[in-house]
Structures are given as structure tokens and as C-alpha cells.
Structure 1
Amino acid sequence: PRSTEKPPWSYAALIGQAILASKQQKLSLNQIYQYISMAYPYYKKDAPGWRNSIRHNLSLNGSFYKTERSTFKRGKGSLWAIKEEDLECFADGNYIRKGSVAHNRK
């Protein structure tokens, strides 16, 4: 059983964990929700608060971008991915913004 405690990571880190765990490193919004709620039971599937925060982070964090589905991929909407130049920001399941003091120590 997984812990029901709130995980220590930011929403950006949780999104990064989800995307990086996928084969193509691209996920739909719903797939991101599914990953987070399965990996961290603290985030209940139908609770709207954290889902709003995920959408907010995807829209405003420059490390994430939308990409179109291939014509062979079924489903609605775009897929979300991480900019290649920002992959290092997601090391060890965390998210450390480029330019931050902690990131510059590496």
C-alpha cells in the first residue's frame, strides 16, 4: 500500500514524474491526473483542487509544452511534454528551476 501522506514534491515535480515515466515522455492531461492519483493516494481522483493546480502549472511553467497527438493516437486534446533543455530540472523526481541557487550548485 502506498502512503496517503502528502508527498513532498511540488506540482511541477509531480507532473515531471508522470511525463518522464511514460514511454514517449508525452501524456494527456487525464493521463497526468491518473499517474499522480495512482502514485500518490493523497491526491484523490475526483478532488478538484489539486487538478486545478496541475492545469495551472502546465499552462504557466515554461518547462512544459503542448504537442499534437499523432494521427494514430486515439483520444482528445493535446499531449504535454517537457522541453528537452529543461529535462535536467527534473532530476531525482524533483523540480529545480534553472537559475535557482540549488540548481547552480550542481
Structure 2
Amino acid sequence: PPYSYATLIRYAIENSPNQKLTLSQIYDWVIEHYPYYATAGPGWKNSIRHNLSLNKCFVRTPRPVTEPGKGSYWKVD
């Protein structure tokens, strides 16, 4: 894909119904829209995590108590 990981993450979050996604949901969106990543090996997932952690435009928000599950949500700031 001709996009940076940060761009892929932004597209995934901005195209979600609530403008927020968990890490797992971001992975799923990327694979659904760019099937290349389904067979690309695990390295791209490290790059996604790296971009979420270091890029200041992505903000981690806690999962509400009313929504049980694993992981926080990520939003675009």
C-alpha cells in the first residue's frame, strides 16, 4: 500500500462508527482494506503499535466500565 502506517491508522479510526478503535480493530481494518497485510508477516503489527505510541496525533482512551473487553481505544487528536 502507498500509505504510511500513521495514515493507515488514521483512515481506520476516522472510518469507524465512533471514531475510535482498539488495537485489534485497527489490525482487522488494515487487513480488510489492504489484504497484502494478511500474509505480510507480523512485523507490520509492531510498526502499527510503534506509530500509535509515538505519534502525538493518536490518543489512547480508557475503555468504559460498561464495555468489557481487552485493550484501550485509540482516537485521532
In the superposition, the TM-score normalised over structure 2's length comes to 0.93
Indicate whether 1:81 and 2:75 are aligned.
yes
Q: How many residues align?
A: 77
Percent pairwise identity: 55
1:20 to 1:45, Cα distance in 2 relative to 1, 3 A? farther
Helix, strand or coil at the partner of 1:53: helix
Counterparts of 2:8 and 2:73, CA distance in 1: 16
Is this contact kept in 2: 1:33–1:45, CA < 8 A? no
Which ranges in structure 2 are unaligned for 5 or more consecutive residues? none
Deviation per CA, 1:8-52, whole angstroms, max 9, x where unpaired?
A: 110000000110111111100000000000100011168211000
**Relative contact order higher in (CA < 8 Å, ≥ 6 apart):** 2
CA RMSD in angstroms comes to 1.4
Runs (4 or more) in structure 1 with deviation over 2 Å come to none
Partner of 2:18: 24
Counterparts of 1:45 and 1:30, CA distance in 2: 16
Helix, strand or coil at the partner of 2:36: coil
Helix, strand or coil at the partner of 1:30: helix
Partner of 1:41: 35
Which ranges in structure 1 are unaligned for 5 or more consecutive residues? 1-6, 84-106
Helix, strand or coil at the partner of 2:63: coil
Partner of 2:66: 72
The structure whose Rg is larger is 1
In the superposition, the TM-score normalised over structure 1's length comes to 0.69
Is this contact kept in 2: 1:27–1:79, CA < 8 A? yes
